[in-house]
Amino acid sequence: MTSPQGKGRAPSIRDVARLAEVSHQTVSRVLNDHPSIRPETRDRVLRAMETLQYRPNRAARTLVTSRSATIGVLAAMSSTYGPATSIAAIEDAAREHGYYVNTANLADSSPEGIADAIEHLMLQAIEGLVVIAPQVRTFEVLAASAIGVPFVSLQSTGRRDHLALSIDQVTGARRATQHLVDLGHREIVHLAGPQDWIEAEARMRGFLDAVYDADLDLHPPILGDWTADFGYYAGTELTHRRDFTAVFAANDEMAIGLMHAFRDAGLDVPGDISVVGFDDVPVAKHVAPTLTTVHQDFREIGRRAVALLLGQVRGEHRIEVDEIVPRLVVRGSTGPARVRALTATR
Amino acid sequence: MTSPQGKGRAPSIRDVARLAEVSHQTVSRVLNDHPSIRPETRDRVLRAMETLQYRPNRAARTLVTSRSATIGVLAAMSSTYGPATSIAAIEDAAREHGYYVNTANLADSSPEGIADAIEHLMLQAIEGLVVIAPQVRTFEVLAASAIGVPFVSLQSTGRRDHLALSIDQVTGARRATQHLVDLGHREIVHLAGPQDWIEAEARMRGFLDAVYDADLDLHPPILGDWTADFGYYAGTELTHRRDFTAVFAANDEMAIGLMHAFRDAGLDVPGDISVVGFDDVPVAKHVAPTLTTVHQDFREIGRRAVALLLGQVRGEHRIEVDEIVPRLVVRGSTGPARVRALTATR
DNA sequence: GACGACGATGTGAACGTGCACATCAGGACG
DNA sequence: CGTCCTGATGTGCACGTTCACATCGTCGTC
């Protein structure tokens, strides 16, 4: 019903050969752009392909060359803006290079879950792997399972067993914090991501660096889960405390939840409290107040990951890519610190 | 360097057979859970697989069975919350059924772009196709290229050549509009999505139905592009007009942009103007004011799409799934209509 | 106790492609 | 004018798996 010409198998290279009156090998050569083919015969073969609606069989090709033309993506939080954007960019870039992409989502961060996802990808015989939004544990499992293909992390991990894009999240976070310091804030709280995430750790480090440089008192960071709901929860908890004037949230969602909680508590942002986010999601510039945040170009990140990985897969020597430094975007959620801001509002 | 045991090819079914002292066919039977295998020999084979670190070669299997165990996803706007969430759910569900997923993103809506993406997927020999966030044109191209595999649309299209989930977006949009009517609004503007999108059209239809039922004057809808930035732009344009008290936006991003523009113009939401969105993205409940919107369960949608498609692929008779009706979530962005609200604010 | 059925296993071919090698014609070169 | 090289093409095999069929022993049945 659905198949137009449901009789048997799809035309093969041999069917094309018969029609074009050449050998199957000649057809193969046309497919692979072999130099020594007479233009005339090439045309004949191409015409035969056209009339037969021939499509090369990737499985057969993979079987004989043992190259699957597929790269794997191991992603967490893949439905949130950042990862989703990078994944889309990876797929686009891969397709451009004639590659396919296979994504495995990490439901939880248990070693079993990670191992399952990796196993799923390995069964597909991927040639390389991109790891998105990685947790520390991911790389341990990856190292342990000795997958035998090159892999690239979207974040600098400090490990030596794989490539990583140089995205200087530490500097990004440091700049965000420094911005608050420059505005006169001396009591800054960090609403961090989950401890075991590479990115969360890098952003926390940047925060700590800035706090240290400015010689501020250290408030114990709050460990969140990246969600706006958690941001709201953390915000309500924070309103009970009166010892800070600014918050640096590890991502925009949490920052938005935070601001919601402050609003509910009758606190003004940035009048009473300044808030900085991270990522610059598309709505960040439209929420009230508009969110000061650290912009990341997720598409560019995805593109570079593919370039780096395919370079590796094809055995090219490692290209030194220049570092990506996220940039601060100052908007309406940050303002000068007021002394005793919190007490003054009551 | 990267490969742990770089000597030659991976172990095959025959290597396992040799080690287990059985024929390769017996190993194959173990792999495919054939009933007549002595438990004893099965164990022996499994042990051999274990020691050799055997992984079945999917390409070889695909070649002989001509089943790729892969489904394709054709997606637009794949980095926004809704599609991204559905895609992730599709991947999870597919993996559970032992299937792989291959996604092709539509950069633009040109027929060539669509045809390219379909061609890319067909080269991968997909067994079925899920179409996400579809434009009308997509189905025309799909019908024209006679792909020969079943496909499922995530939205009701009214076409008869494929299956579609029954998501009653029309009712969802109608309820959103009716909610405004119930609050006393009689001058309602619809900020629609691009005309050629199935979803945009359904939501507009629901809006028109409600307007017709309530016997309201029809304001010409504004055609947007789903983005928050466009919402902001449309909002600034709208503030010049003084002939409406409520806006129904076709998605949350545009609604958030809208509210930003109204805020900038000194208009209060919902005091002066009520706003309703669609989708219930995670930040919708945290923006200021919290956004009244129509909730969609994107994960469930993805899951059902896979169930429906795999049922079709395996030749089961079509299961009638019950309809998904999105539900209205009333929050802070909607309130009773004030007469001459806009004029009163000045 | 002969015979058929069935359970458990083996044998050979096929799937569609690329690779290594063979073949053949024609031109350059001594 | 024979030799060698090179361009253009053909031949057979291998890749790892499943499928169709064959084989063998055992058990139940009349």
Q: What local confidence, expressed as pLDDT, does residue A87 receive?
A: 96
The Cα-based distances of B117 to A88, A95, B110, B125, B145 in angstroms read 13, 9, 11, 13, 12
Amino acid identity at B313? V
The Cα-based distances of A227 to B99, B124, B130, B291 in angstroms read 30, 36, 28, 17
Q: What local confidence, expressed as pLDDT, does residue A145 receive?
A: 80
**CB contacts < 8 A (A, B):** 158
Interface residue A236 vs chain B (CB under 8 A): no
Q: Closest Cα to residue B191, out of B240, B238, B154?
A: B238
Rounded Cα distance, B311 and B142, in Å: 20
Answer yes or no: do B228 and A286 touch at CB < 8 A: yes
Residue-level pLDDT, tens digit, chain B, 346 residues? 333 444 468 999 999 999 999 999 999 999 999 988 999 999 999 999 999 999 999 999 999 999 999 999 999 999 999 999 999 999 999 999 999 999 999 988 888 999 999 999 999 999 999 999 788 889 889 888 877 889 899 887 777 777 788 778 899 999 999 999 999 999 999 999 998 899 999 999 999 999 999 999 999 999 999 999 999 999 999 999 879 999 999 999 999 999 999 999 999 999 999 999 999 999 999 999 999 999 999 999 999 999 999 998 887 766 666 688 899 999 999 999 976 544 444 3
The Cα-based distances of A133 to A78, A276, A281, B84 in angstroms read 8, 21, 16, 15
- Kindly calculate the radius of gyration of chain A based on its CA atoms and give it in whole angstroms: 26
Answer yes or no: do A84 and B78 touch at CB < 8 A: yes
- Cβ contacts (< 8 Å) between B100 and chain A: which residues? 102, 124
- H helices of chain A, where? 13-20, 24-31, 39-52, 58-65, 81-96, 111-123, 136-145, 169-182, 198-213, 228-240, 252-264, 298-313, 341-344
Which chain A residue's Cα is nearest to B82? A79
Q: What local confidence, expressed as pLDDT, does residue B203 receive?
A: 95
Answer yes or no: do A287 and B288 touch at CB < 8 A: yes
Question: A152: helix, coil or strand?
Answer: strand
User: φ, ψ for residue A339 (rounded to 5)?
Assistant: -70, 135
In angstroms, how far is D1 C1' from A18 CA?
A: 40
Amino acid identity at B61? R
Q: Name B314's Cβ contacts closer than 8 Å, sequence gap at least 6.
A: none
Which chain B residue's Cα is nearest to A83? B79
Rounded Cα distance, B44 and B50, in Å: 10
Q: What local confidence, expressed as pLDDT, does residue B340 receive?
A: 52
Q: Give the burial class of A201: count Cβ atoms within 10 A of its Cβ; 0-12 exposed, 13-18 middle, 19 or more buried.
A: buried
CB A213 within 8 A of CB A183: no
What is the distance in angstroms between the CA of the first residue and the CA of the last residue of chain B? 72
Q: Which nucleotides of C are covered by protein (CB under 7 A)?
A: 7-12, 14-20
Interface residue B290 vs chain A (CB under 8 A): yes
Residue pointed to by tokens 């949009």:
B173
CB A199 within 8 A of CB A133: yes
Q: What local confidence, expressed as pLDDT, does residue B3 receive?
A: 37
In angstroms, how far is D22 C1' from B26 CA?
A: 15
Question: A246: helix, coil or strand?
Answer: strand
Residue pointed to by tokens 């990004």:
A172
Residue B205 neighbours by CB distance under 10 Å = 14
Min Cα–Cα distance to chain A from B337, Å: 23
Give the helix/strand (H/E) hosting A131: strand A128-132
The residues facing A249 across adjacent strands are A191
Answer yes or no: do A288 and B253 touch at CB < 8 A: no
Q: What local confidence, expressed as pLDDT, does residue B321 receive?
A: 66
Rounded Cα distance, B123 and A58, in Å: 7
Q: Name A110's Cβ contacts closer than 8 Å, sequence gap at least 6.
A: none
CB B165 within 8 A of CB B154: yes
- Chain A residues 202-231 with CB within 8 Å of chain B: 227-229, 231
Min Cα–Cα distance to chain B from A256, Å: 6
Amino acid identity at A125? A
- Chain A residues 240-269 with CB within 8 Å of chain B: 253, 256-257, 259-260, 263
Quote the DSSP letter at residue A185: -
In angstroms, how far is C29 C1' from B269 CA?
A: 91
Answer yes or no: do A256 and B229 touch at CB < 8 A: no
Q: What local confidence, expressed as pLDDT, does residue B313 receive?
A: 87
Answer yes or no: do A59 and B57 touch at CB < 8 A: no
Global pTM value: 0.92
In angstroms, how far is C7 C1' from B247 CA?
A: 72
pLDDT averaged per 10 residues, chain A (length 346)? 52 94 95 92 95 95 94 94 96 95 90 91 93 87 84 80 81 96 97 93 96 96 97 96 93 98 96 97 97 96 93 75 86 86 44
Model confidence over A229-279: pLDDT tens digits? Answer: 999 999 999 999 879 999 999 999 999 999 999 999 999 999 999 999 999
Residue pointed to by tokens 């601060």:
A328
Length of chain A: 346
Q: What local confidence, expressed as pLDDT, does residue B6 receive?
A: 42
Does strand C come within 7 Å of the CB of A23?
A: no
Amino acid identity at A261? A
Query: SS3 string of chain B?
Result: CCCCCCCCCCCCHHHHHHHHCCCHHHHHHHHCCCCCCCHHHHHHHHHHHHHHCCCCCHHHHHHHHCCCCEEEEEEECCCCHHHHHHHHHHHHHHHHCCCEEEEEEECCCCHHHHHHHHHHHHHCCCCEEEEECCEHHHHHHHHHHCCCCCEEECCCCCCCCCEECCECHHHHHHHHHHHHHHCCCCCEEEEECCCCEHHHHHHHHHHHHHHHHCCCCCCCCEECCCCHHHHHHHHHHHHHCCCCCEEEECCHHHHHHHHHHHHHCCCCCCCCCEEECCECCHHHHCCCCCCEEEECCHHHHHHHHHHHHHHHHCCCCCCCCCCECCEEECCCCCCCCCCCHHHHCC
Question: A255: helix, coil or strand?
Answer: helix
